[in-house]
Structure 1
Amino acid sequence: MKKIIILLTFFVFFFNGWILAQQRNVVGRDIGELKNLKIGGRLTDQITGEALVGATVTVKEIDKTEITNSNGMFNLVLDRAEYTLEFRYVGYETIIYPIVAVGEGRINLTMIQEDFTLDDVVIFGRDPEQNIRSTDMGAISISMNTLKELPPFLGEVDIIRSVATLPGVSQVGEASSGLNVRGGGADQNLIMFAGAPVYNPSHLFGLFTAFNPDVVNDFTLYKAIIPTRYGGRGSSILDIGPKSGSLTRWGGDFMVGTVSGKASVNGPIVKDVLSAQVSFRGSYINWLLNSLKNPDLRTSQANFNDINAILYGEINENHNLTYSFYRSYDDFALASDTTISWTNQSQSIRYSGRFGEKANLDVIGFQTLYDFTIFNQSGINNFDLKSGITDTGLRVNFTYNLGANNRISVGGDTKQLTIQPGELIPDGNSESGVLPQKVQNEYGRESGVYLQHEFELGEKFGFSYGARYDFYQYLGPRTVKEYAENLPINSGNVIGERTYEDGEVIQTYDGFGPRVSVRYSLDSRTSIKAGYNKMYQFIHLISNTATIAPTDVWKLSDQFLKPQIVDQYSLGIYKNFKGNIFETSVEVYYKDIQNVVEYKDGARLLLQNDLETEIIPGQGQAYGIELYAKKNLGRITGWASYTYSRALRRVITPFEEEIINDGDWFPANFDKPHDLTLIGNYKISTLTSFSATFSYSTGRPVTFPEAKFDFAGNSLAYFRNRNLQRIPDYHRLDVSLNFKFQGKGKFFEGDWTFAIMNVYGRKNPFSIFFADQAGSPPQAYRLAILGVPLPTLSYSLKF
């Protein structure tokens, strides 16, 4: 009997093995090669045909993981054998794909979205151990599928606000469009969409992000050790990657919400060769403004829209081209007599090529236009005030793989900048008393070359080192004032002027920026990383507010204003728990900032032809500790981030009248020592989920008047020290409920999202203003943008 059982058991195992072998997919044509078989492929969405960017392809037998590129493609080099491939992408069902590699070949697979599966299965949109094994510090990549689980703001996912939930990143408050990263100003962040810079990433003064989430595939924030291929900013790089349309079938998205709506369509123009995607978004927010308590906002009008068009073409499986066009428009009429409008427009074309198994080439050409206009139509002294910036450039990056964990990147970039700081144009159809005025245009050229080498020594050590050389020229035509030596730079000390011709070099700056990071793995789930980063920034935002506003002016470095130089030191420990279900990290950093822009007391910045008389170079320092914990598995997922940080400034000059706060360190406008964010998502069922976001931060600094005095019949406020008081602390809770409605017919099977912003009606101050009171110093009052609970409802459909 025992012999029969043993024989049957052997037969069962043999039969199962034979069945499994028959189910394995043979890849390639047998040409007799045994090693270094080149196997490529592409992952797409089964419904829409869109490329899945950042998906992981794991070869289980050799513990090797590859990540799909911006076109959903991957490449493997394998020996002749049997393998089991595992394909993962956040929000999609995992695919287990057995293969028999016998020669070079391709694997093209489609993946289907997973509807809130409740089983204990981790769905990763990247290598789950990437945070442990890589040498990257402060680099966080997030897919749009992950963001969809966050509470939407006014009906849709907001990219900039989502970035602000990460450790070390903050905003100064509601309706603020800029980001403050590790103690840096809003101008120290380079935000790129499809490789082109965007100078004002907001709609409606920051209530909406200027990027339509339907055309965004993913984004990566670099805030510590920034790769050498990026330059020109001191604090961070936010690189936003666009979606490409399907090469196989037509489809699209549609959403209608409480204050805005959007629609997009994509599909093949030439099947398997050329695809297109077009998206439009617009607002109907005026009903919301009319419901606000503030009388100025209640009588105001607002509109915004944006459009994206993306063409993607495959020359062959190794070479492709992508063209991206983006335009956004805003106008806001304050109390019906002054209209502020601004426009972002960018276009880029990108070539990506793969040469063999080791070499990759990326070339991006881009042009960005940004302008704003203030129309005063009060009936008296009507005028238009215009300003803008043009940024045109080219970037080239070449990567060569020296081995499995050894690669080198070299490249360069150059761009031409033109800034129109301001032009005042009186209304020719009215008897305006306003005189025309134009500030001189500024011209600059910024270039850089770089090298970066990443490699591993065994399983314990990983290294990334490199350097970037930046070269900058401030160009004519321009007439420049000359000032007396050893005296303050002001209008009273002008001794002459000099005129430069078109294209003539006025001032040159250059700098060598090393960047290095080291990783030491304590074990497979724990690593320690340390790094140093040096950045140069040749453009500055001239603004006396704490956030980006459309009336701010960009200024190039010249012979009076030197480039900002930022040295950053970082140290962190990273640990995953329970099979990468939990990710945790602790990072500390210190920054030294040279030539940060500060302003003289009473500085006049608008329509100022000689800004050097109103600004002062200062020193900056920032330091902090960031705690981050994320849960990827189960019915409850989410993350928590806490940051303790300080951002300080100091101004010391040889001239006593220019020294600020007696030469002591004082908080920057956006200094907020404590910043806490809690995010949770609860999967109620396969069709329903609930999410919540709570945020808290210290109130930002503000300068209160200490007294008042009368001068020439006017009451004037007296300010002594800068930024030594604070507005009240900020905190807010947002919740949302997302559910699918299963009806008859496809157009009744969309996603419904009900959200409540500011659940308990916190009146967080956006700004502080002062009003004169008889017999006492000016009294402070707060302006709250969102002071009541705000419910929103949206419906979205993918077809």
Structure 2
Amino acid sequence: MKKLLLACLLLLSHLALAQTEVKREVIGRDIGQLNGIRISARVIDEITGEALVGATVSLPETGEVFVSDNNGTFDLVLERAEYNLVFRYVGYEEVQYPITAVGDGRILIRMIQEDFELEDVVIFGRDPDKNIRSTDMGAVTLSMNTLKELPPFLGEVDIIQSMATLPGVTQVGEASAGLNVRGGGADQNLIQFAGAPVYNPTHLFGLFTSFNPDMVNQVTLYKSVIPSRFGGRASSILDITPKAGSVDKWGGDLMLSNYSGKLSVNGPLVKDKVSIRGGIRGSYINWFLNSLSNPDLKNSQASFYDANLIISAPVSENNEFTYSFYTSYDDFGFASDTTISWKNTSHSLQWKSQLTPKLNLEALGYLSQYDYSIFNEAGSVNDFDLNSGVEDIGGKLFLQYGFSETNRITVGGEYKQVRIQPGELIPTSGPESGILPQKVQDEFGTEAGIHFQHEFELGEKVGVSYGLRYDTYQYLGPRTVREYAPNQPVTDGSAIGETTFGDGDQITTYDGLGPRASLRYSFNKSTSVKLGYNKMYQFIHLISNTATIAPTDVWKLSDTFIEPQVVDQYSLGFYKNFKGNIFETSVEVYYKDQENVVEYKDGANLILQNHIETELVPAQGQSYGVELYVKKNLGRLTGWVSYTYSRSLRRVITPYEEEIINDGEWFASNFDKPHVLTLIGNYKVSTNTSISATFGYSTGRPVTFPEAKFDFSGNNLAYFNLRNEQRIPDFHRLDMSVNFKLKGKGKFFDGNWTFAVLNVYGRKNPFSLFFVDEAGAPPQALRLAILGVPLPSLSYAINF
């Protein structure tokens, strides 16, 4: 048997277009074969050593293009011949790598980031024709380089606000927490950072996103056919991956604006082996609040911060460990002596391993906590402290086997425990307090899921992805559960007894199969059509009396009375690229059926409610829409235009007349916005100067207005008829920014000045409408606008 010899002869050549010199590592190989030579290539960041997931390698000799897996690896099967491998990754310099394939082997490619201010920057996406070739539907990946091209929100990049510029994604209004994706509620989105769920991803009630962009590598939104490895939410997955530090040298970023500031540093803990990245961001927002016209906000005080720590250890070419810590905190004091605070904290540990050239493993464990408190410190007998919280702890395991570059299967499982403290009221004024202590029963549940996903291609024209996920859920004690009289609505008056369950006792269980499938047919290299189906289960609900996520909202687990939400989604899309992928266009239509969506009885009382089932009714939901999208990737002017027509409807029909809403007819959900138009543009005036603009228009969201008032026992009461029959005025706003980059020389700093104006023409978009009662006249409607004037911001960022 012949000894192990060199499998790939590396041919040194002059790289065109100022290519970066590549460091090449070739591991031993066997020349015992002339056909079917297997080459394993791994692509990493030159500075950080981080695997570049989704990079592409093209073979001009054969016309083939391959995409790297979750470990940054390609597996190429080649004939014995000479090839010029071309590696590409958005934001990085192209690498050409000539080889002569004579036997099996491995190569390591190190790529260096290019200056994102250079021309011909791709707006988003990594593979230039991935939208055509892949079976993905409704999956959008935004790199931080992409987000930096958008006008900053109050001085900096905002991840959640940026997601709302995509088709099918909306928010109920300005400064709104959460997202509404294809007609789903804000609680139907799983937002996770480094694999750990985040329950409130905002600062200052939605004015800021609580993720420091300097700590983020990329953001991926799944809103159509969601891969089977994700579960637990019914509408979408927002997966935020952290950015690793450098294993080579120390550096950092500093940004100061007139609203907030942030600092991050990164470097090697162990040279070439272990890196660390840490960042902190804080606000000095009070001057902004004092400038607002609303008197309550004008006399309020606010502060927030968030912090991250990421330790990455690529202990070998095939194994990498990453630890991520994240925390955010808000403290908001109303003018009326009431203070609201909320805090997120998460830890996650991830292990990625390439067990064999074909088999990859990923394991993840996490702990996520969310807490909020309301303090009343008026110095009276009514002072109190109201607390609530969620603790989520779990683990995930994935195995991916690649039969070939176009045929892979992923299997895995996950398990989590969720504990909720719905609310505890504590008097703080001593024995003379006029408030009695009260505590709502804690909730505890477990979720487990197993899944598989198979992706393959049948020739060049047909691609298939199908998967199945099995979810099971247990609602456990300790808890005392009410019993209600049969054939009567669930109310306090129909309660007939109670059953007490001990610690760990099983109260109820739910399970279900969630198939996912998508089919792609390519007419040619620039045109394809895709068909998809997706079924999701959700075992947690957000109980809220507002249209947007608020810190005072309560999370509620499915129980005997509140069944899991179930969503079936059907999607059809047509995709077409023009002029060598410079322009991307798509049309997607979808329809969603939703079961067991939570609606509220008229006059529902949701605060400190020990038997919340008496205030809720199960509803059906349906949503449908068409999304039009045009994006320009290259040139001085880049950007996209999206238009969505959609409806999000609810219906409540029960055997009891007093629970039926709107006579059992379909009515608009709180976030139904039929028309949404977004225009994004970025124009590069020069290498160091760019101008960005965003314009958004949407139909006003539904509201319920009082139709009359009447006197009852000396009190004026409002009369409401049908729910969500009216709408607030339409929304529209223009934001603009100018970015100047100062190029440093030698050891001098590189600096970026960004001047932005939010709400350029001062539109008073209503966040809500409220009514004031005047004697002898109908109720008078008043408009509350959060951003009613142009808001300028100036920020300066440097790298060191």
So what's the TM-score if we normalise by structure 1?
A: 0.94
Assess, with a 3 A threshold, how the Cα gap between structure 1 residues 358 and 741 changes in structure 2: closer, same or farther: same
Query: What pairs with 1:691-730 in structure 2 (closer than 5 Å)?
Result: 691-730=692-731
Correspondence list, 1:35-74, <5 A: 35-44=36-45, 52-68=52-68
Q: 1:457 corresponds to which residue?
A: 458
Map 1:191-270 onto structure 2 (within 5 A). 191-270=191-270
Trace 1:342-357 onto structure 2 (pairs within 5 A): 342-357=342-357
**Secondary structure of 1:350's aligned partner:** strand
Residue in structure 2 matched with residue 170 of structure 1 by the alignment: 170
**Is the 2:448–2:472 contact (alpha carbons within 8 Å) kept by the matching residues of 1?**
yes
The amino acid of 2:257's aligned partner reads G
Alignment partner, residue 672 of structure 2 = 671
Is contact 1:705–1:777 with CA below 8 Å preserved after alignment?
no
- The match for 2:570 is 569
Q: For the structure 1 residues 18 and 703, does the alpha-carbon distance in structure 2 shift closer, same or farther, using more than 3 Å as the test?
A: closer
The residue type paired with residue 566 of structure 1 is V
- What do the CA deviations read for 1:228-250 (whole angstroms, capped 9, x no partner)? 11111110011111111111111
Cα displacement (A) at 1:82: 2.4
> Residue deviations 1:153-183, cap 9 Å, x none?
0111111111111100000111101100000
Equivalent residue number for residue 542 of structure 1: 543
What do the CA deviations read for 1:133-164 (whole angstroms, capped 9, x no partner)?
11111111111111110000011111111111
Q: Is the 8 A contact 2:307 2:326 kept in 1?
A: yes
Is the 8 Å Cα contact of residues 595 and 618 (structure 1) preserved in structure 2?
yes
Give the letter for the 1:391 counterpart.
D
SS in 2 for 1:435: coil
Q: CA deviation at 1:117?
A: 3.2
Q: CA deviation at 1:712?
A: 2.9
CA gap of 1:269–1:252, structure 2 versus 1, over 3 A, is: same
Residue identity opposite 2:220 in structure 1: T
The answer to whether structure 1 residue 373 and structure 2 residue 373 are counterparts is yes
Q: Secondary structure at the match of 2:766?
A: coil
Contact 2:532–2:570 under 8 Å retained in 1: yes
| CA shift in 2, pair 1:121/1:598, >3 Å | closer
Q: Name 2:763's counterpart in structure 1.
A: 762
How far did 1:111 drift? 1.5
Letter in 1 for 2:788: G
Amino acid in the other structure paired with 2:241: G
Alpha-carbon distance between aligned partners in 2 of 1:78 and 1:550, rounded to the nearest angstrom: 56
Cα distance, 1:26–1:206 mapped onto 2, change above 3 Å: closer
Cα shift at 1:49: 6.7
Confirm whether residue 639 of structure 1 aligns to residue 640 of structure 2.
yes
Post-superposition offset of 1:457? 0.9
Q: Is the aligned partner of 1:623 residue 2:624?
A: yes
Moved more, 226-235 or 99-108: 99-108
Q: C-alpha distance in 2, partners of 1:71/1:254?
A: 30
Task: Specify whether residues 275 and 78 from structure 1 end up closer, same or farther in structure 2 by C-alpha distance, changes over 3 A only.
Answer: farther
Report the Cα distance in structure 2 between the residues aligned to 1:556 and 1:122, rounded to whole angstroms.
Answer: 42
SS at match of 1:639: strand
The answer to whether the Cα contact below 8 Å between 1:482 and 1:494 also exists between their aligned partners in 2 is yes
What SS does structure 1 have at the residue aligned with 2:288?
Answer: helix
**What RMSD in Å do the two structures reach over aligned CA positions?**
2.1
User: How many pairs are equivalent?
Assistant: 781
**Equivalent-residue separation in structure 2 for 1:26 and 1:651 (angstroms):** 64
Instruction: Note if contact 2:411-2:453 (Cα within 8 Å) is conserved in structure 1.
Output: yes
Contact 1:115-1:686 within 8 A present in 2 as well: no
Whether the 8 Å contact between 1:394 and 1:415 is mirrored in structure 2 is: yes
Distance 2:544 2:399 in 1: 38
* TM-superposed deviation, 1:410: 1.1
What amino acid does structure 2 have at the position aligned with 1:250? Answer: W
Instruction: Give the superposition deviation at 1:391.
Output: 0.5
- 2:590 is the alignment partner of 1:605: no
Matches within 5 A, 1:119-158: 126-158=126-158
| Cα distance change on mapping 1:299 and 1:69 into 2, 3 Å | farther
- Report SS of the residue matched to 1:434: coil
Matched residue, 1:288: 288
What residue in structure 1 maps to residue 18 of structure 2? none
Moved more, 562-571 or 74-83: 74-83
Alignment match, 1:327 = 327
Indicate the residue corresponding to 2:691 in structure 1: 690
Please tell me the residue identity of whatever aligns with 2:665. D
Tell me how far 1:467 sits from its aligned partner: 1.0
> Where do 5+ consecutive residues of structure 1 fail to align?
1-16
Alpha-carbon distance in 1 for matches of 2:141, 2:210: 19
Shift of 1:392: 0.5
Read off the aligned partner of 1:798 and give its amino acid letter: N
> d(CA) in 2 for partners of 1:105 and 1:535?
40
Judge conservation of contact 1:44–1:72 (CA < 8 Å) in 2. no
Q: What's the counterpart of residue 410 of structure 2?
A: 409
5+ residue gaps, structure 2: 1-10, 16-20
The corresponding residue for 1:11 is none
Aligned mates of 1:710, 1:59 — CA distance in 2: 80
Summarize the Cα distance change of 1:265–1:698 in structure 2 as closer, same or farther, 3 Å threshold.
Answer: same
What one-letter code is carried by the residue in structure 2 that aligns with 1:635?
Answer: R
> Residues 251-276 of structure 1, C-alpha deviation per residue, up to 9 Å, x if partnerless?
11111111000011111111121111
Q: CA deviation at 1:124?
A: 7.2
Q: Is 1:450–1:469's contact at 8 Å kept on the other side of the alignment?
A: yes
Q: Kindly report which structure 2 residues correspond to 1:472-511, keeping only aligned pairs within 5 A, or say none.
A: 472-511=473-512
2:124–2:142 CA contact under 8 A, matched in 1: no
- State how far apart, in whole Å, the 2-side matches of 1:488 and 1:124 are: 51
Question: 2:4 maps to what in 1?
Answer: none
2:107 equivalent to 1:111: no
Secondary structure of the 2:146 match is: helix
Kindly report which structure 2 residues correspond to 1:591-602, keeping only aligned pairs within 5 A, or say none: 591-602=592-603
Distance in 1, Cα, partners of 2:603 & 2:766: 24
CA contact (8 A) 1:36 1:79 kept: yes
Q: Write the distance in 2 (CA, Å) between the matches of 1:167 and 1:545.
A: 24
- Of 645-654 and 355-364, deviating more is 355-364
- Give secondary structure in 2 for the equivalent of 1:349: strand
| Secondary structure, aligned partner of 1:776 | coil
Q: How far 1:109 sits from its partner (Å)?
A: 2.2
How far off its partner does 1:202 sit? Answer: 0.4
Deviation at 1:601, TM superposition (A): 0.4
- Counterpart amino acid of residue 187 in structure 1: D
1:784 lines up with 2:785 in the alignment: yes
Give the deviation of 1:430 after TM superposition. 7.3
Q: What residue identity is the alignment partner of 2:482? A: K
> Quick one: distance in 2 between partners of 1:163 and 1:82?
44
Aligned counterparts of 2:97 and 2:12: Cα–Cα separation in 1: 16
Residues 360 and 621 (structure 1 numbering): CA distance in 2 closer, same or farther, change over 3 Å?
A: same
In 2, the alpha carbon distance for the partners of 1:330 and 1:522 equals: 52
- Check conservation: 1:27, 1:101, Cα contact below 8 A: no
Of the structure 1 ranges 90-99 and 781-790, higher mean CA displacement relative to structure 2 is found in 90-99
CA contact (8 A) 1:121 1:633 kept: yes
> What SS does structure 1 have at the residue aligned with 2:297?
helix
CA positional deviation for 1:401:
1.1
Bigger CA drift: 28-37 or 266-275? 28-37
- 8 Å CA contact 2:66–2:405 kept in 1: the answer is no
Does the CA-based 8 Å contact 2:125-2:141 persist in structure 1? Answer: no
Q: Contact 2:75 / 2:405 at 8 angstroms: preserved in 1?
A: no
Q: Write the letter of the residue equivalent to 1:395.
A: K
What per-residue deviation string (whole Å, max 9, x for no partner) do you get for residues 328-386 of structure 1?
00010011501100000011111111122211111111111001000111222100000
Match of 1:5 in 2: none
Q: Distance in 1 between matches of 2:745 and 2:512?
A: 64
Alignment partner of 1:287: what SS?
Answer: helix
Q: Which moved more, 1:479-488 or 1:245-254?
A: 245-254
Say if 1:26 and 1:102, in contact at 8 Å, map to a contact too: no
Cα displacement string for residues 173-207 of structure 1 (whole angstroms, at most 9, x for unaligned residues): 11101100000000000011000000101010000
Alpha-carbon contact 1:672-1:698 (below 8 Å) kept: yes
C-alpha separation in 1, matches of 2:226 and 2:114: 33
1:524 to 2:525 alignment? yes
**1:43, distance to aligned residue in structure 2 (A):** 3.0
Name the amino acid aligned to 2:246.
S
